[in-house]
């Protein structure tokens, strides 16, 4: 009778082990990959501005949205590991609202920030200052545009052309 008891216990242990293994494998989709689709890539205000910006820069340029700063600016060589990692950490999770590139070769021409009320907070101002300093360091014009209800493509084009015309870097438009 004790051999039957051991057999039942063994079958039970194997069953529990298989259930645990299966739940661990099946759970990878819910625990190991805890993602869901984002609602939209841009807020309504940024979506609206993107349409105007596309018109303003013309067919000779292409606009890309939410581009990581770390994809635009690289950390200089020659730094120690700690300094290099610190510099990378400061930009790793930041992005530009928009980046304008030359259509012919996709060379980056200008970064664009659409400044809404969140940019008036201390945190927003600190982020804006970092972006400005990065752009100055890599000699990339930064066009900042205050968010508003409507934009004129001609006005945005004039601001864009002024920002990318040498020697201006970090052009700030409007208040």
For the chain, domain boundaries:
2-32, 44-164
How do residues 124-171 score in pLDDT, each as one tens digit? 889 999 999 999 999 999 999 999 999 999 999 999 999 998 764 555
Q: Note the CATH number of domain 44-164.
A: 3.40.1350
pLDDT score at 28: 47
How do residues 12-63 score in pLDDT, each as one tens digit? 766 776 766 666 655 444 567 888 998 898 888 899 999 999 999 999 999 9
pLDDT score at 15: 72
End-to-end CA distance of the chain: 88
Measuring CA to CA, how many Å separate 171 from each of 151, 160, 166?
Answer: 18, 9, 11
Length of the chain: 175
Question: CA-to-CA distance for 104 and 84, rounded, in angstroms?
Answer: 33
Question: CA-to-CA distance for 102 and 63, rounded, in angstroms?
Answer: 9
pLDDT score at 132: 96
């Amino acid at each position: 009778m004790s051999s039957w008891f051991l057999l039942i216990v063994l079958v039970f242990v194997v069953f529990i082990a298989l259930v645990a293994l299966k739940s661990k494998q099946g759970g990878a989709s819910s625990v190991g990959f805890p993602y869901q689709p984002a609602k939209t890539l841009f807020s309504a205000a940024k979506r609206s501005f993107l349409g105007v910006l596309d018109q303003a820069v013309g067919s000779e340029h292409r606009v890309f949205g939410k581009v990581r700063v770390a994809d635009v600016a690289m950390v200089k060589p020659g730094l120690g590991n700690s300094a290099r990692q610190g510099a990378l950490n400061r930009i790793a999770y930041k992005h530009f609202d928009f980046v304008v590139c030359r259509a012919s070769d996709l060379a980056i021409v200008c970064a664009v920030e659409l400044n809404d009320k969140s940019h008036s907070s201390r945190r927003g101002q600190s982020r804006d200052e970092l972006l400005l300093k990065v752009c100055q360091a890599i000699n990339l014009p930064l066009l900042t545009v205050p968010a508003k209800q409507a934009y004129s493509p001609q006005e945005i084009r004039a601001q864009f052309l002024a920002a990318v015309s040498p020697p201006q870097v970090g052009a700030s438009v409007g208040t």
